[in-house]
Amino acid sequence: MSTAVLAARPASTYVPPPRLARLPLLAAIALLPWLAVLAVCHETPWVVLDLTEFAALLSLDALLRRRSPAALWAGAAVALLLTGDALADIACAGPGVAMLAALVMASCIELPLAVVCLWLGRDAAVRAA
């Protein structure tokens, strides 16, 4: 779907609070300690995935600050990465507490953040058009 199609749709009347637009930056900063833990444990595939999420979150933040229509695509990329991370965490978790932890992380952090990033990207694209 192109940004021209999005621009043709009426913009929602709800304007997200400015502090919500800082969420991608805050999420990227919050990833740093977790990246350090993963690096110390030599979990290279997870480090690569989380570094990709870190870069995508910073890119989304920069595009949101510029009010760029490209924020739509960055928001979609972040949402895709976070959803994939949540699914991989659940698929790789062992039984018991590990599975519970993966489900809690997915339902309370990763998937809600994915939705917010999609929403922020769409809102920025509609406003820029």
d(CA 46, CA 73): 23
**pTM across the whole model:** 0.85
Q: How far is CA 77 from CA 13, 27, 85, 89, 117, in A?
A: 25, 15, 12, 18, 9
For residue 44, the model assigns a pLDDT of: 94
Distance separating alpha carbons of residues 86 and 69, to the nearest angstrom:
27
| Residue-wise pLDDT tens digits, 95-106 | 999 999 999 999
Span 51-91, pLDDT tens digits: 999 999 999 999 999 989 999 999 999 999 999 999 999 99
pLDDT band at residue 129 using 50, 70 and 90 as cut-offs: confident
Does the domain at residues 19-128 carry the CATH identifier 1.20.120?
Answer: yes
Boundaries of every domain in the chain: 19-128
